[in-house]
């Protein structure tokens, strides 16, 4: 049974009423990694894997949630002061808290969650959960929040309830996605441009390293601090700079000796990634996937060596992909320390690619990596009827 139909049926069984259903996608990011919190550009797209929230209101001040993936329920009073807890419900508590902090009133609700975004695979299932739930509350209680405001509420939830000082890319992408397009987002002023990604002869294929990145929050925050440390030191010579966005390679090289080798490497990666993204956008607009693929490989090398957010499995997947016919480019994607590689593969080569990468990974790591052939789809939306997704 298609997922939305199953969700509505389950909701009726659990709560005896008809829900509103909201779908929020996970994301891929073509290039521009670890640039969002450095006020750089990113190039994400929403994908055909989603978190779903079914929701209906009730008179009493209680929000009851059933998470179908975990077969667990949780109830809280939205009018009380909410504190972080551990577990999936933490995201919903955080979003509720931050919607209230924005001056909005939330009543009681019955909620059912389901989804098909692999958790811990670097496809932003948590951002999608926050987007789906925030969007659903916004619809149900006519709160009048914009998509951008909902994205910030999701980001604040990560910062304050989860403890990951993430950028805005994941939440933005889940809420603003557009079928057949990636988004060139300027994380400094939040202006964005939709760029068509319509290459019928190519697919975006994710390969899951099967290393869950969920424990990587603290290292992620360390990278952010290292970038800030670099900016703090360079600011003494260039008072006008506010972030690595304002730093050129020349400026960085000139002050090499003032930074520790580690901080220099981190800054070097971010500064060079800015240019790769701009060149990548030009390559896409020209339809030059060959050039784009080369940039992806350079990004992977920077993330692995200078930024040090890769792992053995991801390095293996990215390198191995380079030897398989029909692969334009491959690199680790997202925060790192696990999760997926993103690969651009000729459509006709996808089957052989999948087979080869899975077999060689199995030989080395004794586990079969999951492979997801993705489509770029629309962002968070209310699902009409039993809309069937492929």
Active site residue ranges: 170
What's the rounded Cα separation, in Å, for the pair 130 and 108?
A: 18
The CB-of-232 to ligand GLA minimum distance in angstroms stands at 20
* Helix residue ranges per DSSP H, the chain: 3-15, 89-101, 125-140, 147-157, 169-176, 217-237, 249-254, 261-286, 289-304, 312-321, 350-365
Binding site for ligand GLA (CB under 6 A): 33-34, 36-37, 124, 166-167, 169-170, 334-335
Comparing CB distances to ligand GLA, the nearer of 109 and 129 is 129
In total, the chain counts a number of residues equal to 390
The CB-of-160 to ligand GLA minimum distance in angstroms stands at 15
Edge to edge, what strands does the sheet with 44-58 contain? 72-76, 63-67, 108-115, 44-58, 20-29, 381-382
What's the rounded Cα separation, in Å, for the pair 343 and 134?
A: 31
The CB-of-363 to ligand GLA minimum distance in angstroms stands at 30
What's the rounded Cα separation, in Å, for the pair 335 and 72?
A: 28
Comparing CB distances to ligand GLA, the nearer of 33 and 149 is 33
Q: How far apart are the first and last CA of the chain?
A: 12
Comparing CB distances to ligand GLA, the nearer of 110 and 226 is 226
Comparing CB distances to ligand GLA, the nearer of 15 and 37 is 37
The CB-of-372 to ligand GLA minimum distance in angstroms stands at 16
DSSP annotation of 340 = E
Comparing CB distances to ligand GLA, the nearer of 19 and 336 is 336
28, 47, 51, 285 from 148: Cα distances, Å = 19, 19, 19, 26
The CB-of-293 to ligand GLA minimum distance in angstroms stands at 19
Q: Which residue has the tokens 């805005």?
A: 168
The CB-of-53 to ligand GLA minimum distance in angstroms stands at 20
Comparing CB distances to ligand GLA, the nearer of 46 and 350 is 46
Structure-token pair, residue 75? 């109830």
Q: In terms of C-beta distances under 8 Å and separation of at least 24 residues, what long-range contacts does 10-16 make, across chains too?
A: 10/54, 10/68, 10/112, 10/114, 11/54, 11/56, 11/110, 11/112, 14/66, 14/110, 14/112, 15/56, 15/64, 15/110, 15/112
């Amino acid at each position: 049974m298609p997922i939305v139909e199953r969700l509505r049926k389950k909701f009726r069984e659990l709560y005896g009423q008809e829900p509103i259903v909201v779908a929020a996608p996970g994301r891929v990011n073509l290039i521009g990694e670890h640039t969002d919190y450095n006020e750089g550009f990113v190039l994400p797209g929403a994908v055909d894997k989603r978190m779903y929230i079914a929701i209906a209101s009730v008179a009493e001040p209680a929000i009851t949630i059933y998470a179908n993936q975990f077969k667990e329920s949780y109830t809280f009073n939205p009018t009380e002061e909410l504190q972080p807890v551990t577990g999936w419900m933490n995201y919903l508590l955080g979003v509720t808290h931050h919607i209230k902090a924005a001056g909005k009133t939330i009543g009681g609700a019955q909620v059912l969650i389901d989804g098909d975004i692999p958790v811990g695979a670097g496809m932003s299932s948590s951002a999608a959960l926050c987007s789906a739930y925030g969007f659903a509350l916004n619809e149900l209680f006519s709160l009048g929040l914009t998509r951008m405001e909902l994205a910030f509420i999701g980001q604040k939830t990560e910062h304050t309830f989860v403890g990951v000082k993430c950028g805005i890319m994941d939440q933005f992408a889940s809420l603003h996605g557009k079928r057949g397009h990636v988004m060139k987002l300027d994380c400094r002023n939040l202006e964005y441009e939709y760029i068509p990604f319509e290459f019928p002869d190519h697919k975006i294929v994710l390969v899951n390293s099967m290393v869950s990145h969920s424990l990587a929050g603290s290292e992620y925050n360390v990278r952010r601090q290292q970038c800030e440390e670099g900016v703090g030191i360079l600011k003494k010579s260039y008072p006008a700079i506010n972030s690595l966005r304002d730093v050129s390679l020349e400026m960085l090289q000139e002050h090499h000796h003032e930074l520790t080798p580690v901080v220099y490497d981190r800054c070097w990666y971010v500064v060079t990634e800015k240019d790769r993204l701009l060149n990548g956008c030009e390559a896409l607009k020209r339809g030059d996937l060959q050039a784009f693929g080369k940039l992806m490989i350079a990004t992977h090398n920077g993330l692995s060596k200078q930024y040090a957010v890769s792992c053995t499995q991801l390095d293996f997947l990215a390198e191995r992909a380079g030897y398989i016919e029909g692969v334009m480019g491959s690199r680790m994607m997202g925060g790192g320390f696990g999760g997926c590689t993103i690969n651009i593969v000729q459509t006709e080569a996808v089957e052989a690619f999948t087979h080869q990468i899975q077999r060689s990974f199995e030989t080395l790591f004794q586990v079969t990596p999951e492979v997801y052939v993705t489509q770029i789809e629309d962002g968070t939306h209310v699902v009409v009827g039993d809309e069937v997704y492929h």
